């Protein structure tokens, strides 16, 4: 158990990611949450955008609503929209307050708006003053956005993807840690691309700038495997080190790190988001959710004109044009 940055929360290294809750029913959710508690997990991360996740978690915890620290997040960018989402989260989670409320997936395009007089941050600060939330955090898939946000001293925590094949966030995590902020790792299994969960989590537990890991978990077996990995404080073996090296070298030219250097797209596609949604579809088994977001985008992978102007900007040498064909094929056949 350790204190998450300078927050009021004393948590375990393994947290509970709430995305996969969407694919189970309420009865299964209760069983999963109960197993998480038995395993020592006491931090749950969810989001307004995860369809039924907040509602199910709230129902599972209604008899003992403060048995976990609860973190949620909203894509709202304006004052009024964030204010509405905070109240909605309180209602769905059945709590009088929420431990950590985060600005969800902030990008460069909305950065100034969020920090403006009519922005979402103002609503969060007011809610904190009113006791509706305890801490304010931020999540992003952009290193540059988090780097700027950390300097504002407005946030208690930062959340960013980090795993064996996605390590572009190391500097911002170290910077946040040095300032006393809590560091939360999303996608520790690379959105399910890393099949050996034990290896993936053992790798992360050896990094001193990472506080809590929040893999998505949708059954009791996953909880047990993940908890066992996090509790194993033995040094990485020679075989584990060799396997990690192999993954870094062999997934490097196939895996989008969502760094955003490929942007802007000639026709306006959010390129990293296409690969993120593909991961939810193929590895998280969240077909309905992923398809809905894919189809609601102004532009998606099927709009790619294969100009390849993005490819020289990719620091990992990805064949983005070919990967767009793969993504559009996956979604267009559904």
Together in a domain, 292 and 185: no
Residue carrying structure tokens 């992923």: 290
Read off the pTM.
0.84
pLDDT (mean) for 180-205: 92
Average pLDDT of 33-62? 93
pLDDT band at 314 (very low <50, low <70, confident <90, very high): confident
Q: Is the pLDDT of residue 5 over 70?
A: yes
C-alpha span between 28 and 116 (Å, rounded): 42
pLDDT at 316 over 80: no
| 87 plus 201 within the same structural domain | yes
Residues 145, 74, single domain; the answer is yes
Q: Per-residue pLDDT for 231 more than 90? A: yes
Q: DSSP letter for 94, please.
A: T
The runs of H, that is alpha helices, within 64-142 are: 79-93, 108-114, 120-129
249 found inside a domain: no
Is the domain of 278 the same as that of 172?
A: no
Residues 105 and 202 grouped into a single domain:
yes
pLDDT over threshold 90, residue 286:
no
Give me the pLDDT at residue 65, please.
77
Can you tell me which residue has the tokens 């290896």? 199
pLDDT at 253: 63
Determine the Cα–Cα distance for residues 32 and 194; give it in Å rounded to an integer.
22
Domain boundary among 189, 223, 241: 241
Query: Residue 265 domain-assigned?
Result: no
> Quick check: is 220 in a domain?
yes
Q: What total number of domains does the chain contain?
A: 2
Interatomic CA distance for residues 233 and 211, integer angstroms = 15
**Average pLDDT score over residue span 125-131:** 98
3-state secondary structure of 134: strand
The mean pLDDT value of the chain amounts to 92
Q: What is the CATH number of the domain that holds 162?
A: 3.20.20.100
Q: Confirm whether 256 is domain-assigned.
A: no
Domain ranges, residue 275:
271-332
Q: 192 and 311: one domain?
A: no
Checking if the pLDDT of 13 tops 90, the result is: yes
* Residue 260 maps to a domain: no
Please tell me whether residues 95 and 205 are part of one structural domain: yes
Q: What are the Cα distances from residue 326, in Å, to 59, 293, 300, 303, 321?
A: 38, 17, 12, 13, 9
Distance, CA of 240 to CA of 225 (rounded, Å): 16
């Amino acid at each position: 158990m350790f204190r998450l940055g300078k927050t009021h929360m004393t948590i375990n290294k393994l947290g509970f990611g709430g995305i996969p809750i969407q694919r189970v029913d309420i009865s299964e959710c209760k069983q999963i949450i109960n197993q998480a508690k038995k395993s020592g997990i006491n931090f749950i991360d969810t989001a307004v955008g995860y369809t039924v996740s907040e509602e199910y978690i709230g129902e599972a915890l209604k008899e003992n609503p403060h048995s976990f620290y609860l973190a949620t997040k909203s894509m709202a960018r304006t004052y009024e929209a964030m204010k509405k989402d905070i109240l909605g989260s309180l209602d769905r989670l059945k709590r009088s307050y929420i431990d950590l409320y985060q600005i969800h997936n902030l990008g460069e395009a909305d950065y100034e708006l969020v920090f403006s007089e009519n922005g979402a941050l103002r609503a969060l600060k007011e809610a904190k003053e009113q006791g509706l939330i305890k801490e304010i955090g931020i999540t992003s898939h952009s290193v540059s956005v988090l780097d700027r946000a950390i300097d504002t001293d407005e946030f208690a925590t930062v959340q960013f993807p980090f795993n064996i094949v996605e390590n572009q966030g190391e500097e911002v995590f170290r910077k946040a840690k040095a300032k006393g902020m809590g560091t939360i790792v999303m996608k520790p299994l690379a959105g399910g691309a890393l099949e050996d969960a034990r290896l993936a989590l053992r790798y992360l537990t050896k990094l001193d700038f990472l506080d809590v890991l929040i893999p998505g978990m949708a059954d009791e077996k996953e909880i047990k495997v993940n908890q066992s990995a996090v509790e194993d404080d033995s040094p990485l073996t020679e075989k584990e080190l060799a396997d990690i090296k192999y993954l870094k070298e062999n997934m490097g030219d196939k895996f989008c790190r969502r760094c955003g250097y490929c942007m802007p797209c000639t026709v306006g596609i959010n390129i990293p988001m296409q690969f993120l949604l593909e991961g939810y579809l193929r590895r998280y088994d969240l077909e309905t959710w992923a398809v809905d977001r894919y189809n609601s985008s102004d532009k998606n992978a099927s709009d790619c004109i294969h100009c390849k102007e993005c490819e020289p900007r990719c620091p990992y040498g990805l064949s983005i044009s070919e990967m767009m064909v793969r993504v559009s094929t996956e979604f267009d056949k559904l």
